[in-house]
Amino acid sequence: MTPRNRTGAAAGGLAAALISLALLAGGCTEATGGVRGTPGTAGLRDPYFPKLGNGGYDVRHYALTLAYDPGSGRLDGTAEITARATQDLSAFNLDLAGLTVDRASVDGAPAAVNRAGNELTLRPREEIREGAEFRTVVRYAGVPEAITDADGSEEGWLRTADGAVAVGQPAGSMTWFPGNHHPSDKAAYELTLTVPAGLEAISNGVRTSRRTTADGRVTSVWQAPEPMASYLATVAIGRYETEETGGKGNASTTTAPVLTAAERSVADASAALRGEIPEILARQTRRFGPYPFSTAGAIVTADGTLGYALETQTRPVFPAASFDRTTLVHELAHQWFGNSVSPATWRDLWLNEGFATYAEWLYTEEFEHVPARTHFERAFAQDANWAFSPADPPSAENLFDPPVYQRGAMVLHKLRETVGDATFDRILRGWPAKYRHANASTADFTAYAESVAGRDLDALWDVWLYGDGRPESP
């Protein structure tokens, strides 16, 4: 999603006239074998997941209409994807794992569909011109299956006793909707979720409607207007209890309205901590700058399905066993670091996890009188944190290993000790401001930190960020 250009009516008329001329000219060159569109690429060459994402277009908006039957596990979906072509396109791909595509269209005309593994290729009847906005509709259905990651964890659409919970880092979202599943293509979302009466369907963003359908099911509509990487989309279906608190506070502490949801069996036990979310967000707002989204919250699921908490946008999801204050602080910090400022590629994941881990250290420093230096020294002493450089995990299997989290946080602590608290605070607030709702790489971060510090920090990066093995002293 990139900012949309607006043309005034007069300019629009002129543009239309020019386009007609261009089409006439195009018609002439076409006859003599002129420029033709080419297929968008089937991947974005991510260093760890080369096939994730697709080239040739930039998604602006996903409207996902999903009906789920927990008894059979069947999902019926319609994905309406609005995108802008970044080249002349004869065909383009979407990532989709499992499920069956019934039909697809582009700008209202049926499109040819081809399927090879997790790559869905759509060939529109007419080529799409570079710069054109187009709308594709994919109808699909089936029983979604989870993906087993390189590190053995399960992600994607996960079935629970009476519903499901969907998590997608790094690749699981392709198990429940077709899309451009790489964090570099962020978009706005609208999710319309229909489930049997008695169940709730919770998602990202703001719930704008909830109604009973003629056949006695319940349809909820969720709007997530700020740019979102597809791995941060979530759906939680089950016997959820929800609680809402309005935004409050003065200009520097204002937080967005908070909606939390907890499965009935864990609702009471999680209520007190869920109630702390506005305060934690207000504190983080003071350290990291304005909260980037129009709503906030959390989803707490009964244990037995999810293996870990995930920072799903606006509403992180937790298995009850991981719903503790430290993890909550971590996942809420990701709303700035990871969700608003997203990694350019999966190699930049330490920028998510290092900052979220450092947010835990900052929190205990401020409220439990444990200095960040103490966390740093503990992390320094642990061998597992020195297995590789956080900026260069050896393989996809190691993406979520301790160096990405702990050594990532250690880099930030060393930066703080090197530039001093005042400059470090400016970096903590300035980094999420500069890359708000965008993507950033490790090189963007080191350049930014140096620009704020006003000097070269190569010696710091060489040892703490890129160095092999543990330095002599902490």
Q: Which stretches of the chain bind ligand ARG, using CB under 6 A?
A: 149, 151, 153, 155, 169, 308-311, 330-331, 353, 400
Per the rule left: phi > 0, alpha: psi between -120 and 50, beta: everything else, 119 is beta
For ligand ARG, the closer of residues 185 and 353 by Cβ is 353
The C-alpha atoms of residue 413 and residue 361 are separated, in whole angstroms, by: 9
d(CA 11, CA 25) in angstroms, rounded, equals 21
Partner from ligand ARG, Zn ion, none contacting 460, C-beta within 5 to 8 A by type: none
**Would you call the peptide bond into 292 cis, given omega within 30 degrees of 0 as the criterion?**
no
Shortest distance (Å) from residue 359 CB to Zn ion: 9
For ligand ARG, give the closer residue by CB, 323 or 461: 323
User: From Zn ion, ligand ARG, none, which one binds at residue 149 (CB under 5 to 8 Å depending on kind)?
Assistant: ligand ARG
The residues, ordered by sequence, that sit 6+ positions from 272 with a Cβ below 8 Å of its Cβ are none
Closest approach of Zn ion to the CB of residue 349, in Å: 9
The residues, ordered by sequence, that sit 6+ positions from 40 with a Cβ below 8 Å of its Cβ are 54, 55, 56, 57, 87, 89, 91, 92, 93
Shortest separation between residue 309's beta carbon and ligand ARG, angstroms? 6
Minimum distance of Zn ion from residue 333's CB (angstroms): 8
Closest distance to ligand ARG from the beta carbon of 198 (Å)? 31
153 touches, from Zn ion, ligand ARG, none (C-beta below 5 to 8 Å by class):
ligand ARG
In 3-state terms, what secondary structure has residue 63? strand
Nearer to ligand ARG, 226 or 311 (CB): 311
- In the list Zn ion, ligand ARG, none, the entry touching 46 (Cβ below 5 to 8 angstroms by class) is none
Question: For residues 64 and 75, is the Cβ–Cβ distance under 8 A?
Answer: no
Within 10 angstroms of residue 199's Cβ, the number of other Cβ atoms is 17
273 binds, among Zn ion, ligand ARG, none (CB under 5 to 8 A by kind): none
- What CA–CA distance (Å, rounded) separates 464 from 284? 26
Q: Which is nearer to ligand ARG, 153 or 294 (CB)?
A: 153
Site residues (vs Zn ion, CB under 5 A): 353, 356
Question: 151 touches which of Zn ion, ligand ARG, none (CB within 5 to 8 A by kind)?
Answer: ligand ARG
CB of 352 to ligand ARG, least distance (A): 7
Please say which residue, 46 or 331, places its beta carbon nearer to ligand ARG. Answer: 331
How far is it, in rounded angstroms, from Cα 146 to Cα 160? 12
Smallest separation (angstroms) from ligand ARG to the CB of 169: 5
What 3-state DSSP class applies to 213? coil
Q: Which is nearer to ligand ARG, 263 or 353 (CB)?
A: 353
Nearer to Zn ion, 1 or 228 (CB): 228
Residue nearest to Zn ion (CB): 356
- Non-local (6+) Cβ contacts of 461 within 8 A are 446
Quote the Cα angle for 381-382-387, to 5°.
Answer: 125
Q: Which does 400 bind (CB under 5 to 8 A by kind): ligand ARG, Zn ion, none?
A: ligand ARG
Q: How far apart are CA 137 and CA 142, in angstroms?
A: 17
Residue pair 386/407 in contact (Cβ under 8 Å)? The answer is yes
Strand 240-245 relative to strand 206-212, pairing: unpaired
136 vs 357, which CB is nearer to ligand ARG? 357
- Partner from Zn ion, ligand ARG, none binding residue 169, C-beta < 5-8 Å depending on class: ligand ARG
The answer to whether the CB of 194 falls within 8 A of the CB of 66 is yes
The CB-of-269 to ligand ARG minimum distance in angstroms stands at 21
In the complex with ligand ARG, the residue whose CB is nearer, 227 or 408, is 408
Give the nearest distance from C-beta 387 to Zn ion in angstroms. Answer: 18
